[in-house]
Structure 1
């Protein structure tokens, strides 16, 4: 247990003779643990970049979907639909597209992870990495948390263009546009 490492090391140093000293694995291999610590930082930066790309993609998809249906928005406003109802229709359609994309992406990712864990098709130079292949460990709680956070952020992002377009579209302009 890495949380007890320093405490255990101190206890061992009190037990062993004075001419010996106990060192933790972290103290003995500081460079390796510093290098491993950089992974956490890189993963965070990578996830932030992926979320930014996802947000831009979602906004452009939502705007494209809504701008293609400008005349429909005008007709819906003409027959008495309020902006909230129209917004909900487009958010619902976009959420279905989003969920299908997430399902397909997760399926492809899990298949690739399974194949890598069994076939080791992504290899490494063992002289540099101390292993001959990239190990894969799928944690279901991480997968569910990531999908949940991405799903919530994505649905929130869907609301922005839907709100903007339904506010800005005027009935006369939308019918004239078509």
Structure 2
């Protein structure tokens, strides 16, 4: 054990230290670090959590990349069919990171009841459809089964069910226009087997999930003709790169559009969270650092005589500075410990009990989402510790200005 660490340990453990003039200032410094850590943990966990939740909801309805016809159709309805038999379907063999691809088709319709009507987009899906996301969003009933003959089972959103007063087990009629508007429209009946709620009103208010064979029949397509392909990738952070790779590996008459390009305004909005989070982290570290600087200065001034004695015994300035930096390290560690304990406790409570709700019409989620990762918790703690310690190197320079002769006066 080096003597600097030994002296620092004795200072920390002494009763006089705990009841000294600098004790309240030191406690404020510890509290500042703890509060700063709590705020930073909450900012990162909720910011990343909200981004991830909103991103997952949009991806659930569109995939990470959508392969469509290269035309000017900007609507949600599939107009010109794509041949299902493609080199890249049912999997991209020459692109790494693509985990799933599914064929879908959409058709505009109007749900008609005895007292009301509502416009919808009937989204047809088949055996290759990945129900992972909708298993999480399902609140009543079950998911449709399209493994056998064509059936009338559909999955409808809670938003539409409430507006049209539907329940699981109800049937409803939907009107679809024909190519020739002078002809009588198509009329199809569907049976509700499940109700979902993604919390994303812009999507919930229009999508009804059905058998893709209904859309194919309404459009007079063959079973090998579909509206578009939805591609899912392993890592969302690689979406731009994978979007370009997919585009380069599909026929020239097809286009690949990432979900970020399709919903630009939404992803620009959630991108603002990153700037806010980094701003909060910077401010909290600065506040904690300033408080620790104040605490260290108070501690140095209170120990002026001890510094004078150590200098007279031959200790150099850096050796004495190390004593106080060891002391500061302990205080920073104490603040980080309590900050992590309180911050992670609050986040785990929210994650598993959802005590803080949100307005889903504004934030697209019904409660504050929490994303916890050991990697960012460790990086945040390490970064805060290093930044605070580096900030303390400057005030510790005051030790070099203390004269042993003046410091050892006891009058």
Larger Rg, first or second structure (1 or 2): 2
Instruction: Report if aligned partners of 1:77, 1:171 keep a CA contact under 8 Å in 2.
Output: yes
Shift of 1:65: 1.1
**Change beyond 3 A, Cα 1:177–1:69:** same
The superposition leaves residues 42-89 of structure 1 with CA deviations (integer Å, 9 ceiling, x where unpaired) of: 222222212211221221111111111112111222233222221111
Structure of higher RCO (CA pairs closer than 8 Å, 6+ residues apart): 1
Matched residues in 2 for 1:115 and 1:12: separation?
47
The one of 361, 366, 374 equivalent to 1:127 is 361
> Is the Cα–Cα contact under 8 Å of residues 70 and 177 in structure 1 kept in the other structure?
no
Matched, 1:172 2:405: yes
Per the alignment, residue 85 of structure 1 pairs with 319
Residue by residue, what CA displacement relative to the aligned partner does 1:73-119 show, whole Å, maximum 9, x if unpaired?
11222233222221111111111111111111111111111101011
Q: Does 1:112 align with 2:346?
A: yes
Counterpart of 1:97 in 2: which secondary structure? helix
> In the aligned structure 1, how far is the partner of 2:291 from the partner of 2:366?
36
CA distance in 2, matches of 1:38, 1:53: 23
User: How far apart are the structure 2 equivalents of 1:10 and 1:47?
Assistant: 40
Q: What's the secondary structure of 2:394's corresponding residue?
A: helix
Contact 2:243 2:256 in 1 (8 A): no
User: Is this contact kept in 2: 1:9–1:24, CA < 8 A?
Assistant: no
Q: CA deviation at 1:28?
A: 2.1
1:102 pairs with one of 314, 336, 361: 336
Instruction: Please tell me whether residue 141 in structure 1 is matched to residue 360 in structure 2.
Output: no
TM-score when scaled to structure 2? 0.39
* Counterparts of 2:299 and 2:267, CA distance in 1: 48
Aligned residues, how many?
A: 173
Q: Which runs of 5+ in 1 are unaligned?
A: none
Instruction: List runs of 5+ in structure 2 lacking aligned partners.
Output: 1-232, 234-238
Report what 1:53 is aligned to: 287
Report which stretch shifted further, 65-74 or 2-11: 2-11
Match of 1:8 among 246, 271, 281: 246
Distance 1:119 1:27, change over 3 A: same
Superposed CA RMSD in Å reads 2.0
Shift of 1:10: 5.7
- The structural deviation recorded for 1:26 is 1.8
When normalised by structure 1's length, the TM-score is 0.86
Distance 1:26 1:13 in 2: 22
Q: Answer yes or no: is the 8 Å Cα contact 1:13–1:22 preserved in 2.
A: no
- Determine helix, strand or coil for the equivalent of 2:372: coil
1:12 Cα offset (Å): 5.2
Q: Distance in 2 between matches of 1:10 and 1:40?
A: 31
CA positional deviation for 1:13: 6.6
Kept in 1: contact 2:358–2:366 (CA 8 A)? yes
State the shift of 1:32 in Å.
0.4
Equivalent residues of 2:357, 2:367 under 8 A apart = yes
